[in-house]
Amino acid sequence: MTQSARVLVTGVTGQDGSFLAEKLLADHNISVYGLVRRSSNPNYSRIQHILEYERFQLVEGDITDLSSLIQICSDIKPDLIYNLASQSFVPTSWTQPLFTAQATGIGAVNVFEAVRIACPTCKIYQASSSEMFGLQPENAIQNEDTSFYPRSPYACAKVFAHQMAINYRESHNLFISCGILFNHESERRGQQFVTRKIARAAARISKGLQSTLSLGRLDTYRDWGFAGDYVDAMILMMRLNTPEDFVIATGSKHSVQDFVDYSFRMVGLDWKEFVVQDPRFMRPAEVPSLCGDASRARERLGWTPTVSFESLVERMVESELNSI
């Protein structure tokens, strides 16, 4: 990257965007522009600590509004865009499939179009997802060559964005790399996602602030890693001279029940006394099991995850205990 690089981060108010902006700002030669959409009440809680940085600036726009993206790209002329903005909660994608398609699918194409029109040499990182793999044979491991079988409107929108990224790369010669990231979590994870929901409930129940935890299926498996590690992989991908797609994962999977069990053990409780199954949290179609093979990232980026499943749970539960 050239000196004094300008980097635009969409989704900067989210979990990954906040870690990414923080890590990019640690490099004194980078100015970060964070895309935020207008809301009646700003939600800057995850980026509060970096708002005062001179090299950090918020720009108002919306991923579903191409004109706003063209304007921003024309004004800033970014060297690099990380496109992290999306409607990222899978259950919401069944109740708001069209909005999800707009934000998660078309939104990415809006970014590609804005770059093609206003700053065609800009590199783009596209946030693809392991949800694209969807239904896979039991005990299978997914890599960059695994076929997609999306199981939700969210996953379908991500597949569309992913294939369009490849299409823009091959037909317009844009530099777009897709990170196919498996589930990654942290104390900044949204409260609806299962890991944060469990960690928060275990802490609150142990302090007498909550009596039960309602969950959907406990028998689904995910390959859970730490968000900070996964954002490092995004940065490494963008340092390459040619665009390429990478699976980012830990290579080991655990069930929702494993996450519950370990979280409750951390606070000295038996989860069976507090967890109730609630049909409201069951999905119309489920992804039973995902587990990634990040060999390519290990070989070409030198990337490896640093936080184990146990350390991740400990970190999240401790954070919840501290925040009470």
Q: 283 contacts which partner out of ligand F7E, ligand NAP, none, CB within 5 to 8 A by kind?
A: ligand F7E
Could you tell me how many helices (H) and strands (E) the chain has, helices first? 11, 13
By the rule CB under 6 A, 253 interacts with ligand F7E: no
Classify 65 as helix, strand or coil. coil
CB 135 within 8 A of CB 110: no
> HSE-up of 132 (CA within 13 Å, CB side)?
27
Strands 246-248 vs 254-255: parallel, antiparallel or unpaired: unpaired
Q: Choose the catalytic residue: 22, 113, 131, 185.
A: 131
By the rule CB under 6 A, 157 interacts with ligand F7E: no
Q: 43 contacts which partner out of ligand F7E, ligand NAP, none, CB within 5 to 8 A by kind?
A: ligand NAP
CB of 211 to ligand NAP, least distance (A): 28
Q: Choose the catalytic residue: 18, 31, 86, 129.
A: 129
By the rule CB under 6 A, 215 interacts with ligand F7E: yes
Binding interface with ligand NAP (CB under 6 A)? 10-11, 13-17, 35, 37, 39, 43, 62-64, 84-88, 103, 127, 129, 181, 183-184, 190
Compute the CA torsion angle 88, 91, 92, 93 (nearest 10 deg).
70
By the rule CB under 6 A, 283 interacts with ligand F7E: yes
Q: Please report which helix (H) or strand (E) contains residue 184, including its range.
A: strand 184-185
Site string for ligand F7E, 105-144 (x = CB under 6 A): ------------------------xxx-------------
Q: Which of 37, 55, 217, 265 binds ligand F7E (CB under 6 A)?
A: 217
Residue 53 or 274 with smaller CB distance to ligand F7E:
274
Within 173-202, which residues bind ligand F7E (CB under 6 A)? Answer: 182-183, 192-195, 197
Q: Which of 32, 81, 202, 256 binds ligand F7E (CB under 6 A)?
A: 256
CB 5 within 8 A of CB 29: yes
CB of 130 to ligand F7E, least distance (A): 5
Phi, psi of 306 (to 5 degrees): -110, -10
CB 305 within 8 A of CB 229: yes
- 54 given a catalytic annotation: no
DSSP string for residues in 210-270: -S-EEES-S--EE--EEHHHHHHHHHHHTTSSS---EEE--S--EEHHHHHHHHHHHTT--
Distances (CA, A) of 102 to 39, 66, 95, 192: 18, 11, 14, 21
Residue 112 or 230 with smaller CB distance to ligand F7E:
230
Q: 232 contacts which partner out of ligand NAP, ligand F7E, none, CB within 5 to 8 A by kind?
A: none
- 154 given a catalytic annotation: yes
What are the residues binding ligand F7E (CB under 6 A)?
88, 90, 129-131, 182-183, 192-195, 197, 215-217, 220, 222, 256, 281, 283, 286
